[in-house]
Amino acid sequence: MMKTGFEKAKRTGWQVERLLLVALLLHSAIALGQIQATKKLEPVPIRPFKMHVPDSVLNDLKRRLADAKWPDQLPGTTWEYGADIKKVRELADYWQNGYDWRAQEAKINQLDQFTTKIDGQQIYFIHQRSPRPGAIPLMLIHGWPGSILEFEKLVGPLTRPKDKNSPAFDVIIPSLPGFGYSGPTTARGWGPQRMATALVVLMDRLGYSKYGVQGGDWGSAIAQDMAYQAPTHVIGLHLNLIYVPPPNQEAVAKMSDAERKRYSYFDREESSFFFLQASEPQTLAYALTDSAVGWLAWMIGKFQLLTDNNGDFLTAVDRDTFLTDVTLYWVTGTIGSAMRIYRENRLTIEEIVPTPHLETPVGYADFPKEVAVPPFSWITQTYNIVQKTCMPKGGHFAALEQPDLLVADIRKFFAKLDQK
């Protein structure tokens, strides 16, 4: 049945209004971060770190996978109601019988890892220095449901570029508080603004007075908060996701069909998980922390939706890399605490705060299958965009899906800044 123009307008308006709430929550987090002052804390030692998960934890994981109680699925369906049971069974079997955490652990342990305490919380991070003098310090920040593993393939090319004319970087990759070995958090208030403050402190503790920051998902919001909090230290932001609310209703009315489709995609397809994790992450944590298959299915659903794939997300993301990300949350006991970033962000925002114009130079990598992409004209009203690249392929997990494209764009952006 055809929709009348009025019915279409009502439906579209509801979608934009709901998505607007998501954008405002994230964007206001950035604005509030600008208001908060960076805390100077007492010097704390930085200690070398190596991953080693006890055998008992890995054995327990395999037992839970073997003893899983499986739900039914409607005949003739695949992804229409959520994660397809065929794909979940396939990956659960491989996770139990074929996947090798120890091999992945050994690979990660080839990188230089450290921990330190900031604001009462252990912070884990990778700090890989370039052998080249004058390398640019660059922090790479993940989001949810990502981790430090997103950036593993970027470390070598960024720290040791083959082309002597390409810029080299000292790479710093923190696990956000509440994620991986930076968790679980044990106090309230670890939202994006507090995380940004902690990461500014980390860079200061490492001796970097000038540095760049790259991020997507929550990493984008936190990177922007860092620039607001430490404008004299952050020389540039490279972002592959920018949330911007509509400047006014007139701007919404002027959106093209293509712009409206990209901006409302997240609302149409998957905004439910955002609101669930922002309202009661603790309730969800009971199920996902107890059931390995439940946690696996939750992650499969997100990667299936958010990657640029041909119907199977494993065509966009390597199977072992995906399962290492899933396993890292499981073995560190941070499934629940990582989801709390959504709730903490919501609790922090008591009112919508207008975001001041960000003077820090921004490089924007626009991947075609990214979610909730606002019109570029809205972005330029708040951000000092000095480089925009429309990528030929890739989705929400840019560093995992298209590491070469992302590395090239990062190099181009910071080389441009270095020439000024």
Catalytic residues: 217, 342, 396
Distance of alpha carbon 356 from alpha carbon 353, whole angstroms: 9
Query: Is the distance from CB of 360 to CB of 420 less than 8 angstroms?
Result: no
Q: How far is CA 319 from the centre of its chain?
A: 19
Please enumerate in sequence order all residues whose Cβ is within 8 A of that of 149, keeping only pairs 6 or more positions apart, or say none: 108, 321, 324, 325, 328
Alpha-carbon gap, residue 205 to 219, rounded angstroms: 20
- Other beta carbons within 10 angstroms of residue 122's beta carbon come to 17
Q: Quick one: residue 214, left, alpha or beta (phi over 0 = left, psi -120 to 50 = alpha)?
A: beta
The one-letter code for the residue type at 351 is E
Tokens of 240: 């592959």
Count Cβ atoms below 10 Å from residue 400 Cβ, excluding itself: 25
Give backbone dihedrals phi and psi of 109, rounded to 5 degrees, phi first: -70, -5
Quote the CA–CA distance of 220 and 359 in Å, as a whole number.
Answer: 16
d(CA 113, CA 54): 18
Helices 292-306, 55-66: crossing angle, 10 deg rounding: 80
According to DSSP, the residues that pair with 174 across neighbouring strands are: 125
Q: What are phi and psi of 137, to 5 degrees?
A: -65, 130
